[in-house]
Amino acid sequence: MDNIIEAIVDVTPAYFAGFIMTLQLLAISGTGAFIVGVFIATMRISPVPSLRMFATVYTEVLRNVPLLLVLMFCGVVLPILGSDLDYFVLALIGLTAYTSPFVAEAIRSGFNGVPVGQAEAARSVGMGFIQTVTLVVLPQAARMVVPPLINVFIALTKNTSVAGIFFVNELFKQTDAATRDHPGAVISVLIYAALLYLAITVPLGLIAGAIEKRVVVMR
């Protein structure tokens, strides 16, 4: 028992640093993925065929490649291309690129959830493309987009752990080190890390659930 408490006290500073790093990865790549995702989603519904095609290919390729490979690309191929970026930045690029198609798909599915009659009604009273989208479809879609979007960010939280394999001293990497430093308290050290991840994902999940319930009532 003593060595468990000792181990937990001992790893706390490193875990705290790792936790902050994980939150940073989540916040920055989450914002980046949201911006890129909105861009891709817009391209996918745009009237210009080449943009649609580009967005489709982008989504299909990135969604069908493991995150590990995307990060490997950032860690191995980007330096070959002559980037001398910090590993933290490389991890951010990888996570952003990997998450953005999921954001785009969440947005698109929210758009698809708006009944077609809404768009038809808007068109029939004479609204154009921009008006239909910004005044009628988007406000309704926004509510429905939030829960799946939060789920994407929950997935991103968990995915930040993969960045630990390669580059960054985030929570998983600290856990990996802690299990080696404290072979007598492996289980407690692992559960400690799990609880820290849950401290991010469970509240996010609760928020998503609450919003989902409200949206259902409103419809």
Partner 1 sequence: MSLSVLYDAPGPKTRRLSKIASIVGIFLIIALFVWLYLLLAAPRVNANGAIQPGTFDPSRWDIVGRADLWESFGFATLNTLRMAAIAAVLAIAIGILFSFGRTSRFAWIRVVTSVILEFVRGIPVLLMIFFVFLVFTAGSYWSGVIGLGLYNGAIIGEALRAGVKSLPRGQREAGLAVGLTPLKTWALIEFPQAFRQMLPIILAQLVVLLKDTSLAFIVSYPELARTIGNNSNFFGSRYIFTMFAIGFAIYLTLNLTMSWLARFVARRSGPKLGKALPNTPKQIGEDGTRAITLPRSLHGPSDPPR
Taking a C-beta distance cutoff of 8 angstroms, is the pair 123, 132 a contact? Answer: yes
Among 19, 34, 111, 192, binds partner 1 (CB under 8 A): 111
CA distance 102 to 108: 10
CA distance 160 to 21: 9
**The two structure tokens encoding residue 35:** 């911006």
DSSP 128: -
Assess 215 for contact with partner 1 (CB under 8 A): no
CA distance 14 to 29: 22
Among 40, 91, 137, 146, binds partner 1 (CB under 8 A): 137
**Residue 28: CB minimum distance to partner 1, A:** 18
Taking a C-beta distance cutoff of 8 angstroms, is the pair 151, 169 a contact? Answer: no
Assess 176 for contact with partner 1 (CB under 8 A): yes
Name the site residues for partner 1 (rule: CB under 8 A): 44-45, 47-54, 56, 60-61, 63-69, 72-73, 76-77, 80-82, 108, 111-116, 118-120, 123, 128-129, 132-133, 137, 141, 154, 157-162, 164-165, 172, 175-176, 179, 186-187, 190, 193-194, 197-198, 201-202, 205
